[in-house]
Chain A
Amino acid sequence: MPDQPPSPTRLTRRATDALEIDPDGPRRRVLVTGLGTFWGGRVAQALEANPAVEVIVGLDTTEPTVELERTEYVRVDANYSILSRIVRATRVDTIIHTFLVMDPTQMSQRAMHEINVIGTMNLFAAASAASSTVRSVIVKSSTVVYGCAPEDPVWFTESTPRSRPASEPIERSLEAVEGYVRDFAEDNPHVNVALLRFSNVIGAELETPLTRLLQLPVVPSIFGFDPRFQFVHEDDVIRSLLFAFNNDLPGVFNVAGDGLLPWSEVAALCGKRTVALPPVATGFLTSPLRQLGVLDLPEEYEGLLKYGRGVDNHRLKNFGFRYEHTSTEAVEAFIRAVRLRKVVGANEPSYRYERDVEQFFRHSPAVRKDRRQA
């Protein structure tokens, strides 16, 4: 059993295919925030497969949920108060900031604020310290920052301003985060900053408010509206983060699959019928359903279920990124995984982080390392 090489997932293998590794180039030292989350864990896995990455340090409040071979996990509090010490001590040159909460149903507003706004603030404070070795920062944001209003264009480009001021907590929170990113980029012109805005992520594993809606027996929609949705496959999310990492992409990028699908068509792809919710006072009239826990529809999604949102993904494509999934394909990948789960049950990750075991494998001289080195 211990002889067995840690099997890189399907994802990491494909991610490394896309890499163009310069064996003589400087090896990079990377800090990944949110190691315990879906995104942080997968990014770290993919980075481990990249021999050009020398050190990976992962931060989180919770333990990693995926198997990691050489990533160093550091438990921190939600707002990273010890971060500058870590950055100083590890001399990382790249920060991949994935620890941003996009799903407001998962925690209180207060907790979300701590993680998103205060966490980002501390992160950038540490990264811009005088002795900082950070030369590249990649932030995973969301197209939620464009808002959702009737006067919106069909396609938002990276420079299109939002139509109405941010009102929802999640939008305000991400707006504050992006503000810190901008300030940091302005104050530190020697640091390459990439801000990736992801559209509705869907795929085999991730659970979001939208995937929960699509797994209900009937899919809620709002009467008289058939908004159009754009999706990005979870693999494309990881691939784009790595693409930004490998190519030192500068600036803001929308990340979203090709195509906008009417909500009714999304439901049809999932083999579901839609049930119409009242178009006025939706929040008030559906609150009994919410209380019963039948419907889990955050307020942010009411606007989305009326007007949808499309973002222009040309900028990232022009830099050479190729999507593996269109919006339709992403939804199909999701529904295939749902069908499988229905038959075999949820395959909970069998991996459990055990500190002592991990420390032993990583640092004990007794463990012989025959890692695939470049």
Chain B
Amino acid sequence: MAQEDSDSQQSPSNQTPATPRTQTSAPAMRFDPAELLNQDITLEEVLSQAGSGAGHGELVQLPQEEPRNPDALDDRRRSDVNEWGRSEHMREIARRVYDPVYKHWFRVEWEGLEKIPEGGALLVANHAAAVPSDAPVIMHGIETELNRPVYGLADNFFRTIPVVGTIWNRLGGLPAHPDNAYRLLREQDQLVLVFPEGTKGPSKTYSERYQLRRFGRGGFVEIAMRAGVPVVPIAVVGAEESMPTLFRVPSIARALGVPYLPVTANMLVAGPLGLVSYFPSKFKLKVLDPVHFDVPADRDRYSRSRVMDESEAIRDRIQAALYTMLRERRSVWFG
């Protein structure tokens, strides 16, 4: 694994998408068709002349103005920040830093990763831990195991924090806006991760662990329907214990303008560092069967009751899967 990583680091084409363009245009520079036209030569002669230079069977490339692909990445870009603000370079650094945490601290185990379909899909999971530990685990896991980027939609509160908001965006985080999800899923066949519980999930206290909160207003189902992609439910066990919230301090949260202010067990152990350190709980993730909606895409509205029913059904399935996994779990730390 590490070997592969260092290989990909060295190959320049991996980092700069600029090289292919210059390479393909190089053979076209071999002769000037305008010059040939002036010399009054037949087409066959042109072809043979070109063939002698380029070898048999190679097509003659006339230097013509290519129709510009308006969506092509501009090759004079100075950074690799893509249209969503994600940077593969930053992701690579994050993968290196996070991989030991993923492998040796949380010792993440997946079940059913093969159920994640090829095209676009909306990944939906339960959400926990005061500073959620499940989002990085899911994003890192799918990226390393399936070699596909995952875009995480999160509360836009993230975006307002200096430094954190920018890093979050460079690592594939986006504000949870339906337009973002639609474009990623419908037009770009990407994987998008949402936590329908929103901040209600991570803000709940330890005594309420693994009790799923309300799944918003079912907006995630509506987006998946509109984008014509399946919803893939994921049940996560382990996040709750990685940073358990003992109690909340709503008054200070209001004063600070943050969605919630938890006092976690980690803080009692590590002080303020507790906000960035997790307990080494064992992570187990289970991908459930994808839910396909049998409705036409791109509608303005979908039946409210249908959306709510589907949303509730998905919530029930994740809840049931969690109970099953918890029944089988012998230890919080060893799984």
A258 to B157, CA, bound (A): 28
Residues of A within 8 A of B164 (CB): 224
A326 to B183, CA, bound (A): 20
Residues of A within 8 A of B161 (CB): 224
Assess whether A155 is in contact with B81, with CB atoms less than 8 Å apart. no
* 1/0 contact string of A289-313 vs chain B (CB within 8 Å): 0000000000000000011001000
A153 at interface by CB-CB < 8 Å:
yes
Assess whether B70 is in contact with A153, with CB atoms less than 8 Å apart. no
Q: Size of chain A's interface in residues, with CB distance under 8 A?
A: 36
* 1/0 contact string of B71-108 vs chain A (CB within 8 Å): 10110111101011100000000000000000000000
A248 at interface by CB-CB < 8 Å:
no
* 1/0 contact string of A129-168 vs chain B (CB within 8 Å): 0000000000000000000001111111100100000000
Within the complex, what minimum Cβ distance (angstroms) separates B331 from chain A?
A: 40
Once A150-B159, A153-B177 are accepted as A-B contacts, the answer to whether A228 and B74 lie under 8 Å apart by CB is no
Residues of A within 8 A of B77 (CB): 259, 261, 265, 328
B22 at interface by CB-CB < 8 Å:
no
Q: SS class of chain B's interface: helix, strand, loop or mixed?
A: loop
Once A225-B165, A225-B166, A307-B159 are accepted as A-B contacts, the answer to whether A259 and B179 lie under 8 Å apart by CB is no
A262 at interface by CB-CB < 8 Å:
yes
A124 at interface by CB-CB < 8 Å:
no
Q: SS class of chain A's interface: helix, strand, loop or mixed?
A: loop
Once A258-B71, A259-B74, A328-B77 are accepted as A-B contacts, the answer to whether A153 and B180 lie under 8 Å apart by CB is yes
* 1/0 contact string of A264-287 vs chain B (CB within 8 Å): 110011000000000100000000
Assess whether A317 is in contact with B81, with CB atoms less than 8 Å apart. no
Within the complex, what minimum Cβ distance (angstroms) separates A334 from chain B?
A: 14
Q: Size of chain B's interface in residues, with CB distance under 8 A?
A: 30
A329 at interface by CB-CB < 8 Å:
yes
Residues of A within 8 A of B68 (CB): 322
A38 at interface by CB-CB < 8 Å:
no
Within the complex, what minimum Cβ distance (angstroms) separates B272 from chain A?
A: 19
A226 to B160, CA, bound (A): 12
Please tell me which one of the listed residues A151, A153, A224 contacts residue B162 in the complex, with CB atoms under 8 A apart.
Answer: A224
B235 at interface by CB-CB < 8 Å:
no
Assess whether A150 is in contact with B175, with CB atoms less than 8 Å apart. yes
Once A223-B162, A224-B163, A226-B166 are accepted as A-B contacts, the answer to whether A259 and B83 lie under 8 Å apart by CB is yes
Residues of A within 8 A of B163 (CB): 223-224
A253 at interface by CB-CB < 8 Å:
no
B residues lining the A interface (CB < 8 Å): 68, 70-71, 73-74, 76-79, 81, 83-85, 156-157, 159-166, 174-175, 177-180, 183
